[in-house]
Structures are given as structure tokens and as C-alpha cells.
Amino acid sequence: MTRRVVITGVGAVTPLGIGAATLIERWAAGECGIEDGLGLCRDFDPLEFLSKKEARRADRFAQMAIAAAAEAVGQAGGEDGLPYEPHRVGCVIGTGIGGLPSLEENQRKLIERGEKAVSPLAVPLMMGNAAAAAVAMRHELHGHCYGVVSACAAGAHALGDASRIIRAGDADAVVAGGAEAAITGVATAAFGAMEATSPTGISRPFDARRDGFVIGEGAGVLILEEKQAAEARGAEILGELLGYGATCDAFHLTAPQPEGTEAARAIGLALADAGLSAVDVDYVNAHGTSTPLNDRAETMALKAALGERAADVPVSSTKSAIGHLLGAAGAVEAIATVEALRRRIAPPTLGWEEAEEGLDLDYVPGAAKPIENGDGPLVAISDSFGFGGHNAVLCLSA
Amino acid sequence: MATAVTAENVEKVIFDGLVELGTERDQLAREATLEDLDVDSLDLVELAQIVEDEFGVELRGDDVKDVKTVGQVIDLVVSKAG
């Protein structure tokens, strides 16, 4: 019998504030969390979620993952946590970069004061699997546990992998998501050097004036459960992860394949995995980075994958409100997608005003618009693409 | 210039160091066990760095592997300096 995967908890730390509800409510209201060209989580105080010792032993991306996971586990399981045998619960948390602040700080100590000044915590703080390890330790999860590293597709890959673990029967629940906090000197300089980030500091995906992404930070964590088990325990089901598709451009280290051929294939695979077709899609949560290359290639990919449906379906980018959360983006955007479907709205692509030739989809300018398609569950595609040509696409419903 | 290695100075540096590492100050006492304070091997390595910076006394993993209480850590630093 086919095992299906439902979502029973969500948690987020984003530039719009703490909590998944804050994220969707503020984005849907047209509010933007970007200030001075950065998507910083200014409201995040780690000591509200961690002891002083826990906070010292987690880099910022892992701290945010712990906070987001606590919210998600609390929603799914209440104070007692997830009601499964701990070996049947996994934890998969993606990140693009890991604990870059710790790496930079210890590199500085090494240069200035020598080997003996380097912290014994440097490796466990910087390692890309640190968030997964910390969340598993906090909630005593003993199943599959690892980090996923695929640049800006990591959050979506983590959710896709987690759903596969459940469908394969290796777990009944997985705490899954993505986390990133890499707004450091090296990262901002490096993204600037490759002209990936916006020199004007404005995130306006799909607009003719777009000039790069705005770097953001944050975390998103979802509780995925096997559907029958979740129903049997009476859990509130927020949505379903219906399908997952992943491909690689194998084209260029950073640039997307210009026609979005492999991205389109990943969208098609996600729909096929869900047993659906293009006409079933009610909303697309785009990768929509605000870079000239991505937004054009993604528009072409959507047209190729969805055919005539592409002209009618609303397509919007969460990055217009929070910037690009890199390895956290796919998870945070999956949460935004499910919460948008639950409210039966397509939130807006903030700042979109000027069309560009060929970029002619409904990017939901101005304000959120209702999705009208009866009373049943709505279906959405959430795209995530990463440097390296990684394409990970989720098909979600709520 | 390293700080003079007196029992009083070492106690102050180690107490302050443990607070910095996340221990509650009101739990600190010479008799407190590292286990009760949740001070583990990683904390001890960090504490050893603080001690070496302050007093120039080097503590290695083997030196502290049998240490049970905060007082024993303090005594160890004082004896190694002597």
C-alpha cells in the first residue's frame, strides 16, 4: 500500500519575524522584511529558545533551526513532542553553507593569535550537519539524521528526501527543513564579486529592473508524517507533500541552463510523482530570485512544464518579501506555500511593476489575490534551484 | 604578562570561565562536581584555553581526565604552575 506524507507542524524564523504565521500574514499583507539591502532576522534572540550553553554550541543557522523546529514540533505534538517511537522519527535539515560565521571567526583567531587560539567548538559549529544534529538532540530523535548540502535547493531537497524516507517505510515522521545564516563578510563579498547580489539592494523578482538577489537568513522546519499514522493519532493535518522531483542541469557551476530544460523536467517529475498534471496546479511558489538569469530561465521552465496552464496560474516569489534565504529558502517557501493554500490566496510578488519581454506570466503584482477553485484542496508547485545546477521541486496541497 | 598563579586568582578565572561557558554562577563552588554542572570534555578544552591565556599553564586532555570537581581543576592549575 502506498504511504503518503502529510504536514502536521510548521515553524519559521525569517526576516519578517518569528513564526510561520508571522511569515504568511505579513507577506500576504504586502509587508517586506528587507532593510538596507539585507534580509536579517532582527527579531531573533537565540536565548529565547536556547540555554546559554546550547547557544554557544550552535552557530546562528543551527540556532534558528532549533527555534523553528521547536515551533513545528510544538504544533504537531504539543508539549510531549511527537508521539512515535524515537527510532521511527528522522531529522533532515538542509543548508547551503553551514556555520560560516564560526569558520571566519576561527580563521581570524588562527591568523592573529596562532593555532592555540582556535576553538575546540570550531568544527562542530561550522559543520553543515550541525543543525540536524542539534534538532535531533533537542527532541531525542533517533532515526535517519543528516544535513543536505545543495546550495539554494537544500531546503527543498531535505523535504523531498524526508518524504522518501517516510514513503520507503524507514520512518513514521521526519523533522525536516532548511537553515541558513551566512550574512558574513566573506559571503556578502563573494556573492557581490560574482555579481549575483543586487547592487541596489532591491528584491523584485521577474521585474524588468531586477538586478540580483538580496541575501537573507532564517530557518524553516516542517513535521512530515505518514498520513495514516497522523490520522490515527488525530493530528491536525495542515497539508500534504504530494510529489517531489529533482534533476541537475550539469551545465555550469553557477548559471542556470538558459531554457530551464532540466528545471522544467523537475517540475514535471514532481507532478508525475503526485499523480497530477499541469491543469491541476492552482499556484506556483517560484524560486524567483530577482537575478536576471534565474527569473528568465524559470519562466521558460514553467511554460515548458505547465504548457497552456502557465498563462493562467498565479506565480509569486516569497523572496520579494524576505530576500534569498539560500539553503533555508526551499523549506521556508514550502511553509509559505502550504499556508497560502490554506488561506486560499496567492501572495504577491512585491515590487513587481515592469514587465520584460518573454516574462509574461501572472506574477501577482500589487496584492494577494484569491485562488478560486471550488472548496477542495488546492495544489501548488514550489521551485528551488541552486548553484551547481541543482533543481528540486515539491508538489504540495492544502 | 601572565597573571600570578595564586589559588585565589585561579579560582576567579575558572569561575568566570565556567560562567562564560554557560554555568549559572550561583551553582559554582569548589565542591561542585563537573558532572552536576554539566561541564563536559569540550568545556574542559575551552577552559584549558582560558587558563593558558591567563596563566601560561598548559592543561592537556590527559591532565583533566580524572578530575571530578571544580576545586580539583583549580588545584591542578596551581600545582602545574609550581
Is B21–A56 a contact, with Cβ atoms under 8 angstroms apart?
yes
Is residue A373 within 8 angstroms of chain B, CB to CB? no
Tell how far CA B20 is from the center of its chain. Answer: 12
Residue with cell 523572496: A319
**Residue A325 Cα distances to A61, A170, A181, A289, A301, angstroms:** 11, 30, 8, 10, 22
CB pairs under 8 A between A and B: 22
Residue A205, strand partner residues: none
Residues B34-59 have a mean pLDDT of 94
Which residues, 6 or more positions from A330, have their beta carbon under 8 angstroms from its beta carbon? A94, A152, A153, A154, A155, A156, A157, A158, A159, A178, A382, A384, A392, A394
Residues of B with CB below 8 A from A57's CB?
Answer: 42
Are A331 and A177 in contact, with CB atoms under 8 Å apart? yes
Residues A157-176 have a mean pLDDT of 98
Would you say the C-alpha torsion A280, A282, A286, A290 has a positive or negative sign? positive
The chain B residue lying nearest A115, using CA atoms, is B49
Residues A268-282 have a mean pLDDT of 98
pLDDT at A275: 98
Is residue A4 within 8 angstroms of chain B, CB to CB? no
Distance from the Cα of B53 to chain A's closest Cα (Å) equals 9
pLDDT tens, position by position, A182-225: 999 999 999 999 999 999 999 999 999 999 999 999 999 999 99
pLDDT tens, position by position, B24-33: 999 999 999 9
Pull the grid cell for residue A14: 525569517
Catalytic residue among B40, B63, B66, B75: B40
User: How large a percentage of chain A has pLDDT more than 70?
Assistant: 100
Among A307, A320, A384, CA closest to A353: A320
Q: How many CB atoms lie within 10 A of CB A331?
A: 36
pLDDT at A1: 64
Torsion of CA B40, B41, B46, B49, to 10 degrees: 140
Is residue B25 within 8 angstroms of chain A, CB to CB? no
Among A124, A145, A127, CA closest to A136: A145
Q: Where are the beta strands (DSSP E) in chain A?
A: 5-14, 17-18, 89-94, 145-148, 173-180, 218-226, 239-248, 283-285, 315-316, 345-346, 369-370, 379-386, 390-397
> Does residue A381 carry a pLDDT above 90?
yes
Residues of B with CB below 8 A from A119's CB?
Answer: 46, 49
User: How large a percentage of chain A has pLDDT more than 90?
Assistant: 99
Catalytic residue among A32, A41, A145, A152: A152
pLDDT tens, position by position, A317-354: 999 999 999 999 999 999 999 999 999 999 999 999 99
Residues of B with CB below 8 A from A117's CB?
Answer: 49
pLDDT at B82: 77
Residues of B with CB below 8 A from A121's CB?
Answer: 42, 46
Is residue B21 within 8 angstroms of chain A, CB to CB? yes
Mean pLDDT computed over every residue of chain A: 97
If pLDDT is split at 50, 70 and 90, which confidence band does B2 have?
confident
Among A239, A266, A302, CA closest to A389: A266
Pull the grid cell for residue A358: 518573454
The chain B residue lying nearest A113, using CA atoms, is B53
Can you list the alpha helix ranges (DSSP code H) found in A78-176?
Answer: 100-113, 122-126, 130-139, 154-167
pLDDT tens, position by position, A100-143: 999 999 999 999 999 999 999 999 999 999 999 999 999 999 99
Residue with cell 541552486: A386
Is A120–B46 a contact, with Cβ atoms under 8 angstroms apart?
yes
Cα–Cα dist A283/A315, whole Å:
6
Which residues, 6 or more positions from A342, have their beta carbon under 8 angstroms from its beta carbon? A238, A239, A398
Is A52–B22 a contact, with Cβ atoms under 8 angstroms apart?
yes
The chain B residue lying nearest A117, using CA atoms, is B49
Of A53, A117, A124, the CB nearest to B21: A53
Are A245 and A360 in contact, with CB atoms under 8 Å apart? no
If pLDDT is split at 50, 70 and 90, which confidence band does B61 have?
confident
Cα–Cα dist A359/B7, whole Å:
73
> Does residue A10 carry a pLDDT above 60?
yes
Of A52, A116, A120, the CB nearest to B42: A120
Is residue A117 within 8 angstroms of chain B, CB to CB? yes
| Residues of B (60-79) whose Cβ lies below 8 Å from A | none
If pLDDT is split at 50, 70 and 90, which confidence band does B1 have?
low
Distance from the Cα of B21 to chain A's closest Cα (Å) equals 6
Q: Which of A116, A118, A127, A137 to mutate to probe the B interface, most B CBs <10 Å?
A: A116
Is B22–A119 a contact, with Cβ atoms under 8 angstroms apart?
no
Can you list the alpha helix ranges (DSSP code H) found in A216-367?
Answer: 227-232, 261-274, 292-306, 319-322, 329-342
| Residues of A (264-293) whose Cβ lies below 8 Å from B | none
Residues present in chain B in total:
82
Helix (H) or strand (E) run with residue B12 in it:
helix B7-20
pLDDT tens, position by position, A22-75: 999 999 999 999 999 999 999 999 999 999 999 999 999 999 999 999 999 999
What's the predicted TM-score (pTM) here?
A: 0.96
Is B49–A116 a contact, with Cβ atoms under 8 angstroms apart?
yes
Give the long-range contacts of residues A369-373, CB within 8 A, separation 24 or more: A369/A314, A369/A345, A370/A344, A370/A345, A370/A346, A371/A282, A371/A283, A371/A314, A371/A341, A371/A344, A371/A345, A371/A346, A372/A344, A373/A282
Task: Note if B40 is an active site residue.
Answer: yes
Residues of B with CB below 8 A from A50's CB?
Answer: none
Pull the grid cell for residue A28: 500576504
Residue with cell 505547465: A306
